Amino acid sequence: MAELFPDHPNLVDGYAPLQMECDANDLVVQGEVPKELSGIFFRNGPNPQFAPRGDYHWFGGDGMIHGFYIGDGKVAYKNRWLKTVKFKKEKEAGRSLFGAFNPMDNDPSVQGIETDGLANTNVVWHGGKLLALEEAHAPFELDPHTLESKGEWNYQGNLKGPMTAHPKIDPVSGEMLFFGYNADGMISEHMSFHIADREGNLIRSETFKAPYTSMVHDFMVTQEHILFPIMPLTGSLQRAITGGPVYAWEPEKGVKIGVMPRDGSVDQLRWFEGDPSFVFHPMNAHTEGTKIICDVCEFEEAPLFPLVDGTPGDPEKAIPRLTRWTFDLGDNTDSYKSERLDDLACEFPRLDERKVGMDYRFGYFACDTNPDFRIGGFNGIGRRDHDTGKTDIYDVGYGCATNEPIFVPRSSDSGEGEGFLLANVYDAQRKASHLVILDAENLANGPLATAYLDHRVPFGFHGNWMPL
């Protein structure tokens, strides 16, 4: 018999796992679904199958894909777990067998077993394949229409090591650029960089040594440069063996950001240094002459992870705010400029993906207007106009919380920002979720359409749109 889930902050309320796979062919919709929307909105996030083993972490749950199938004014829905090695072995055993981060927490029956990961962080459509991503393993392929698992995808054996959950798809070439940290095994300083062409063939792979071992969740690209942010959320297997945290905040190491010419090689990496801070997600980056401009959601201190001694960090420093980093390649300095753009708590930044790596005007994010904000669900969806400095916000309502919004253009030739924002919202009063479809240019007017589920979509991480 399965065990009850523990009373853990990342296993209750909007985080609580959904213990079923289901199909809903025609959701109740309030409002009118725009006729221009025809595609699938995918969401991914952690959804543990069984009560966790050892210390639970939000990042350690089994991946579950949620698909909203939109077209002809209707919305259908289905969800499926990703049937990874871990998932199948635990399903067979009827209990949890693997720890979240620390291999010392694994059941003896699975010690030494190589898995294909959790596939629980993001989901992207590229090269004719739908890929579920995390950052410690290769991608995991699934069918976009049935959501059934196909298994690990390693580019015909050409991808060695892990792949980030945050690849960048070049809007001009169609190439997908990505990296991996811990490239030669668990907790290492080595990183990799890769490019897959429009058809999904791996055409470039390089490795390099980072200044120190770090959790590197995301990176930045422009049309001319690649940037690798190494920040002091450090990894240490030795710490874990002695009972300490595998990943911990170690601010004295500072920030190191490697800048590489996109048409160059890792041998040309130039390292810039900055004061300790942490970024999970950049919004975008672009080049202006000798300068590289990066907009990021920056924390003073990495959230969700302890200090080296295992004690919790300062929650007042774990508030993400939109910040602009400027690197001047024409200067003979190894420092960069950091400028706060807004005091609003905001995370999960997105943009009109047709502007990736280019000068752009609009950015979108989940945000929170509460003065006592703590990382988790957000009470609003925001749009930042970088030309005017103005931020527009849609408040998701009392007792509701949202996560990452994604932008869908009205048409392939519509102007930047002309389109829709899609986001999941959890309603604590109903204990269920709904999908909102917003006019990206008029957030304050509220949803054009709301599609209701009779269950929750647990707080997750990322999603993307696949046009049909």
At 36, which amino acid appears? Answer: E
CA dihedral 256, 361, 166, 270 (to 10 degrees): -30
Cross-strand bridge partners of residue 44: 65, 462
Task: Using the predicted structure, report yes or no on whether residue 269 has a pLDDT greater than 60.
Answer: yes
Contacts of 424 (CB under 8 A, 6+ apart): 43, 66, 402, 403, 433, 434, 435, 436, 457
C-alpha to C-alpha distance for 266 and 283, rounded to whole angstroms:
24
DSSP E strands in 262-309: the ranges are 270-274, 278-288, 291-299
C-alpha to C-alpha distance for 194 and 423, rounded to whole angstroms:
30
Query: Of the ranges 86-100, 101-115, 256-270, which one carries the lowest mean pLDDT score?
Result: 101-115
C-alpha to C-alpha distance for 131 and 54, rounded to whole angstroms:
29
Mean pLDDT across the chain: 96
Residue 2 confidence class, pLDDT cut points 50, 70, 90? confident
Reported as a single tens digit per residue, the pLDDT across 377-415 is: 799 999 999 999 999 999 999 999 999 999 999 999 999
pLDDT for position 54: 82
Reported as a single tens digit per residue, the pLDDT across 99-137 is: 877 777 899 999 989 899 999 999 999 999 999 999 999
The Cα angle at residue 62 between residues 80 and 462, in degrees rounded to 5 = 75
Residue 55 confidence class, pLDDT cut points 50, 70, 90? confident
pLDDT for position 99: 87
pLDDT for position 265: 97
Residue 1 confidence class, pLDDT cut points 50, 70, 90? low
pLDDT for position 104: 78
pLDDT for position 167: 98
Task: Using the predicted structure, report yes or no on whether residue 462 has a pLDDT greater than 80.
Answer: yes
Interval 211-233 mean pLDDT: 98
C-alpha to C-alpha distance for 246 and 60, rounded to whole angstroms:
13
Regarding beta strands 419-427 and 270-274, do their DSSP bridges make them parallel or antiparallel, or are they unpaired?
unpaired
Reported as a single tens digit per residue, the pLDDT across 150-182 is: 999 999 999 999 999 999 999 999 999 999 999
Tell whether the torsion through CA atoms of 355, 357, 359 and 362 is positive or negative: positive
C-alpha to C-alpha distance for 332 and 229, rounded to whole angstroms:
20
Q: Which residue has the tokens 């969800």?
A: 79
Contacts of 92 (CB under 8 A, 6+ apart): none
C-alpha to C-alpha distance for 82 and 120, rounded to whole angstroms:
8
pLDDT for position 374: 66
Task: Using the predicted structure, report yes or no on whether residue 453 has a pLDDT greater than 70.
Answer: yes
Interval 266-289 mean pLDDT: 98
**Which of 154, 155, 220 lies closest to 356, judged by CA?**
220
Tell whether the torsion through CA atoms of 116, 203, 126 and 214 is positive or negative: positive
Reported as a single tens digit per residue, the pLDDT across 242-253 is: 889 999 999 999
User: What are the backbone angles phi and psi of residue 147, rounded to the nearest 5°?
Assistant: 65, 15
Instruction: Quote the pTM value.
Output: 0.97
C-alpha to C-alpha distance for 321 and 313, rounded to whole angstroms:
17
pLDDT for position 243: 87
DSSP E strands in 369-418: the ranges are 380-385, 390-395, 400-402, 406-409
Structure tokens given for 260: 């590489």
Cross-strand bridge partners of residue 70: 39, 75
pLDDT for position 3: 83
CA-to-CA separations, 173 to 131, 223, 349, 357, in angstroms, rounded? 20, 10, 23, 12
C-alpha to C-alpha distance for 205 and 153, rounded to whole angstroms:
16
CA-to-CA separations, 29 to 26, 156, 459, in angstroms, rounded? 9, 42, 22
What is the DSSP code string of 176-220?
A: EEEEESSTTSSS-SEEEEEEE-TTS-EEEEEEEE-SS-B-----E
Residues of the chain above pLDDT 70, percent: 99
C-alpha to C-alpha distance for 363 and 443, rounded to whole angstroms:
13
Interval 443-455 mean pLDDT: 97
Interval 193-200 mean pLDDT: 98
Contact 350, 404 (CB under 8 A): yes
pLDDT for position 404: 97
**Which of 425, 426, 451 lies closest to 29, judged by CA?**
451
Structure tokens given for 450: 């709301």
Interval 292-297 mean pLDDT: 98
Task: Using the predicted structure, report yes or no on whether residue 355 has a pLDDT greater than 60.
Answer: yes
Residue 186 confidence class, pLDDT cut points 50, 70, 90? confident
Interval 260-270 mean pLDDT: 97
Residues of the chain above pLDDT 90, percent: 93
pLDDT for position 151: 98
**Which of 76, 78, 75 lies closest to 32, judged by CA?**
75
